[in-house]
Structure 1
Amino acid sequence: MASTTHTAPGRSGARVHVQRFGTFLSNMVLPNIGAFIAWGLITALFIEAGWITLIGDKLGYSGGYGFVEDLGAWGSGADGTGIVGPMITYLLPLLIGYTGGKMMYDGNMRGGVVGAIATMGAITGASVPMFLGAMVMGPLGGWSMRKLDALWDGKIRPGFEMLVNNFSAGIWGGFLAIIGFVVAGPVVEAFSDAASNVIDTLVENNLLPLTSIFIEPAKILFLNNAVNQGILTPLGTSEAAENGKSILFLLEANPGPGLGLLLAFMFFGKGAAKASAPGAIVIQFIGGIHEIYFPYVLMKPILVLAVISGGMAGIATNLVFDSGLRSPASPGSIIAVWAAAPPSSLLGVTASVVVAAGVSFLVASFLLKLDRSEDAGDLAAATADMEARKGKKSSVSSALTGAGAGTGAIHSIVFACDAGMGSSAMGASVLRKKVQAAGFSDVSVTNKAISNLRDDVDLVVSHQDLTDRARQRSGSALHVSVDNFMQSPAYDEIVDLLRQRNGAGGAPTPASAEEEVALGGALLARESIVLDGTARTRDDAITEAGRLLVAAGAAEPAYVEAMHEREASVSTFMGNGLAIPHGTNEAKSSVHRTAISLVRYSDGLDWKGKQVRFVVGIAAVGKDHLKLLGRIAEVFLDDDQVARLERASTTDEVLEVLGQVQPA
């Protein structure tokens, strides 16, 4: 599910596309940075020139380093030795390919598996680490598998779903692996060789520092991900595999230029910029969040000369010392930089940071002394400009402006739950109706699983037991907790908040024709409606609703157990006598097709202290159940409609209330 981002008027269309492309590449690489760090640490410790051998030699150790040499070997022979080479050749590209495939299939692991298979073809079809190949074949595998699955969605006979799903993924993945071997591997290898030749030419002619003229302004404009993750990280990793280190990892990640700029503001700045600079230094230099200094440059654009000068000086210093890093430093903290530096480069890397900071400080101080204008009050506007360029709220902007999360207009609201298929969909439907009725047609209200949350939304609504988890995934958003999905007073408070932040609102948004027409009855079949449930406890009711889904061929028996697991973590009680049990996010592989069951309990059930009369079981593989859930939410907000359901004596009467009645 796509999340909403917002662009400021006048933003360059080309820059926005590059920015989005860079973010896409970054989302493939950043979740796997831990694997890069693990590879870098193993390399730093165990290769021939690593820390263990270096320290042993210094201490006069004359014995062999057999175990160390085995771990640091680049091969992977029958004796099982060698971990460094296989990690960079297979593990890291496969992780990127899997992540890219999963992203392109809306978080579905099926896309990740096909993406990894396709990536394996590119890996074996080239002699260089296939990071760029993984960034191509992984997303291609996930996207194409999603398109293929859509062709036969809902058309497979019950009982054959697993057969079709497994064989389609295997056949298509195998085909893409061949394409990767024959086409992607050689093409990407040729591109990598050409790019490496360009870098070598710049190094040989002492021109590499000039790259800062492009890289530093690109960082300010949030184009750094496209440059860093798309070019520098893949090329740097290949170079590190060959030479043990690469200067390319420090072209963008060196914290020195930003540190020097902030130090200049701390000593020679004025107003809010001077007051906030010390805190920003901690966030930038220790925390590694470089975007904290971007508003200072946007406030006084001439200061871009300071960070460019610092960047060039840092690169030149690394060239003099022949220093570099073994793996990417992410985030760009001095701690991450030191951790990724090999022993032979520690002095040079440290010197590059110090020199970069010193040059940036001198240039910025000179420019600040020339500027006699007051900057108090300008920093907030520059921070807002930075967020507009970034396309989302900055998680560190409050350190500059003193504001809490969510101080501006709200444009995107996400209702988040554990699995993203039932509770969040129902809550989002209720909240969306209120938001649209208030006239805020430009505010999107969607639902997601917490695992799919990104830090690019303005407001997140979640069950009170899940808010802490949601905040970890989307730290810069405003978070609202609810305990009743149907009639929470928080929904009206959110609408009031929209009036405060966005203005008074407009005319209520009328229901679209698509929303007013009756939906097809395939999702809720007559056979899946029970008007007199036999269960007497909550757990038995979950089993009863789940078995109806299994009987309909929508899910495997294992899915019923997953429904109990989901209930054990957070209650699916919605309010107004309704509960909607469903499986965990991990159990979606047990679902063959989307379906809903409905069981009525005339005497009611105790649902963890709440009274429930209707249980709606959900099994979902896509989004086609969301409109029906929206209709169910509307019904259960209307006491008259609930009364009709309680009086219904036939399944057709139930379907009629839900707008699902079909000819017999």
Structure 2
Amino acid sequence: MAEKGFRTSVQRFGGFLSGMIMPNIGAFIAWGIITALFIPDGWIPNEQLATLVDPMINYLLPLLIGYTGGQLIYDKRGGVVGAIATMGVIVGADIPMFLGAMIMGPLAGFLMKKVDDLFQDKIRSGFEMLYNNFSAGILGALIAGIAVKLIGPVVEGLNNVLAAGVEFIIDAGLLPLANIIIEPAKILFLNNAINHGILSPIGVEQVTEAGKSILFLLEANPGPGLGILLAFAIFGQGTSKSSAPGAAIIQFLGGIHEIYFPYILMKPALLLAVIGGGVSGVFMFSLFDAGLIATASPGSIFAVLAMTPQGNYFGVLAGVIVAAAVSFLIAALILKTSKSDDRDLSDATDEMESMKGKESSVSGTLKQDGADKAAENEKTGEQEKTAERTDEKSAESINKIIFACDAGMGSSAMGASLLKNKFKKANIDIDVSNTAIKAIPDDADIVITHKDLTDQAKEKLPAAEHISVENFLNSPRYDELTERLKQ
């Protein structure tokens, strides 16, 4: 129980970090393109356009992160104060303040919320605008001043310690070992906490000094996932074999890495394959001194190549190809030597649904402990099935369906697209969209999430009907919902 609680806490932390970074990825990419094109060593050097590089990284990007962090806590009011506070850490340090923005933005939004909780109800009618403007201005000025004098230098020192640690690992040739942590973290949906909380901020700082950073390649490398899916396409069984080729296209070209997570969850030994692929890929990146100029998001091969600077294409492609090859070979060996009666995830899910009548939202994904485990899952599923009936909404009352994930831009977008297509074929006119867990709208009637995130979604909007899925891209719950709404 304690382990599950810890994992949930880390997932929420990762989701919050992702919620600050992901909406602003376009700005990071714009900065990366301008840097790659117009700096003196760029593709088409231009002295005037190159003057955009420093202001964007020193001011625009941290301010966007700070505003978004404050907005996540306390809407636009928190966002404005978050941006003001972020300006304080920017002025108080001599390095790009991404880490400072991720601290000050949410902190300022939280403090603004607390101030309003104390005073807003006590303001006389007609003075609301005066209070709103001056309270935000006074609080923002105070926090910005404190940030300049105290928080900025502290965060700069912390950032320097983290950067020195990463540099030590790189110089010692130990960076490939980082994937021993990163690859399992991805499968547990903790990748955002690592990627956006640690790797990207330090990576951006390295770009300002060296023009590129290998850290952008650690989590975004599509090679390990491609190797897993290719192994299933050749050596898999049942649904996993038939679905793997399409999943490989979505993962490698579309950059939705979450699509290969269920394939590993149903056979945990495959963690060795993605770890081996990740380690060998980073070794190749290090060997050829390869790096990217900005975050590659989503982790598509197109995004990776778009962020690759001149002279690094061979090293980047070598790392991706070697990672895919190593992951494929290890996965193939595991699949070939597995027991012949092993079932894939979809087969196990179908069998479970036939016994229970519908999919359990928290039933075990792996089902490998024999009859005792199956009986335990059966009991849990029956309890949840009864609970789900009580919050199932009538078709007439459903006007908005929301898919939610950590950042609201990856797997949830794919799930929403699939359900829209099913609704279109069934002539169902109901709004379907996707968003981040933190931004689920209050008027959502049904919220669809991965089963690991359903508890968070219920806390955010308990009045909605919540549907859990194990795989956003291949869930029978979509057909069930479509049939229900047709009737």
TM-score bracket, normalised by the shorter chain, equals 0.7 to 0.9
Change (3 A) 1:439 1:330: closer
Compute the displacement of 1:21 (Å). Answer: 0.3
2:205 paired residue number: 238
Q: Is the 8 A contact 1:324 1:345 kept in 2?
A: yes
In the alignment, is residue 43 of structure 1 matched against residue 51 of structure 2? no
Change (3 A) 1:410 1:43: farther
In the alignment, is residue 86 of structure 1 matched against residue 55 of structure 2? yes
1:440 paired residue number: 390
Compute the displacement of 1:42 (Å). Answer: 0.6
Compute the displacement of 1:455 (Å). Answer: 4.6
1:372 paired residue number: 339
Q: Say which of 140, 146, 152 aligns to 1:185.
A: 152
Q: Taking every aligned residue pair, what percent have the same amino acid on both sides?
A: 53
Compute the displacement of 1:142 (Å). Answer: 0.9
Compute the displacement of 1:452 (Å). Answer: 10
**SS at structure 1 position matched to 2:339:** coil
The amino acid that maps onto 2:39 is: I
Change (3 A) 1:293 1:43: same
Q: Is the 8 A contact 2:68 2:79 kept in 1?
A: yes
Change (3 A) 1:291 1:200: same
Q: Deviations over 1:270-300 (max 9, x none)?
A: 1111111001101110111111111111111
Taking the aligned partners of 1:334 and 1:234, their CA distance within structure 2 comes to 22
Change (3 A) 1:480 1:386: closer
Q: Is the 8 A contact 1:295 1:379 kept in 2?
A: no
In the alignment, is residue 211 of structure 1 matched against residue 189 of structure 2? no
1:471 paired residue number: 433
The amino acid that maps onto 1:51 is: W
Q: Is the 8 A contact 2:401 2:433 kept in 1?
A: no
Change (3 A) 1:370 1:21: same
Q: Is the 8 A contact 2:401 2:431 kept in 1?
A: no
Change (3 A) 1:471 1:439: closer
1:24 paired residue number: 16
Q: Deviations over 1:119-177 (max 9, x none)?
A: 00011111111111001100011111011111122321122111111111000000110
Q: Say which of 292, 311, 322 aligns to 1:355.
A: 322
1:71 paired residue number: 49
Long gaps (5+) in structure 2: 353-358, 366-380, 407-411, 447-463, 469-476, 478-487
Q: Choose between structure 1 and 2 for higher RCO, CA contacts under 8 A separated by at least 6 residues.
A: 2
**SS at structure 1 position matched to 2:311:** helix
In the alignment, is residue 271 of structure 1 matched against residue 233 of structure 2? no
Compute the displacement of 1:188 (Å). Answer: 1.4
2:70 paired residue number: 101
The amino acid that maps onto 2:390 is: F
1:112 paired residue number: 79
Taking the aligned partners of 2:205 and 2:320, their CA distance within structure 1 comes to 23
Q: Is the 8 A contact 2:404 2:434 kept in 1?
A: no
The amino acid that maps onto 1:148 is: V
Compute the displacement of 1:93 (Å). Answer: 0.5
More helix, by proportion = 2
Taking the aligned partners of 1:122 and 1:440, their CA distance within structure 2 comes to 49
1:156 paired residue number: 123
Taking the aligned partners of 1:245 and 1:377, their CA distance within structure 2 comes to 41
1:305 paired residue number: 272
Q: Give the paired residue count.
A: 404
Compute the displacement of 1:379 (Å). Answer: 3.7
1:606 paired residue number: none
Q: Is the 8 A contact 1:237 1:327 kept in 2?
A: yes
Q: Is the 8 A contact 1:115 1:140 kept in 2?
A: yes
Compute the displacement of 1:440 (Å). Answer: 2.6
2:7 paired residue number: 15
Tell me the TM-score normalised to structure 1 length: 0.56
1:337 paired residue number: 304
The amino acid that maps onto 1:471 is: S
Q: Say which of 80, 85, 88 aligns to 1:121.
A: 88
Compute the displacement of 1:95 (Å). Answer: 0.3
Q: Deviations over 1:200-224 (max 9, x none)?
A: 1111111110001111011111111
Q: Is the 8 A contact 1:313 1:352 kept in 2?
A: yes
Change (3 A) 1:455 1:298: closer
Compute the displacement of 1:319 (Å). Answer: 0.6
Q: Deviations over 1:336-357 (max 9, x none)?
A: 1011111121221111111110
Compute the displacement of 1:375 (Å). Answer: 3.9
Change (3 A) 1:369 1:313: same
Q: Say which of 284, 289, 294 aligns to 2:251.
A: 284
1:261 paired residue number: 228
Q: Say which of 311, 325, 347 aligns to 2:292.
A: 325
Q: Is the 8 A contact 2:37 2:43 kept in 1?
A: yes
**SS at structure 2 position matched to 1:471:** strand
Compute the displacement of 1:267 (Å). Answer: 1.0
In the alignment, is residue 250 of structure 1 matched against residue 217 of structure 2? yes
Change (3 A) 1:137 1:10: closer
Q: Deviations over 1:89-133 (max 9, x none)?
A: 00001000000101100xx21110000000000111111111110
**SS at structure 2 position matched to 1:127:** coil
Change (3 A) 1:387 1:36: farther
Compute the displacement of 1:11 (Å). Answer: 5.5
Taking the aligned partners of 1:242 and 1:468, their CA distance within structure 2 comes to 50
Q: Is the 8 A contact 1:298 1:386 kept in 2?
A: no
2:373 paired residue number: none
Taking the aligned partners of 1:153 and 1:168, their CA distance within structure 2 comes to 10
Long gaps (5+) in structure 1: 1-8, 54-67, 73-81, 392-407, 412-434, 482-493, 502-664
Taking the aligned partners of 1:140 and 1:467, their CA distance within structure 2 comes to 41
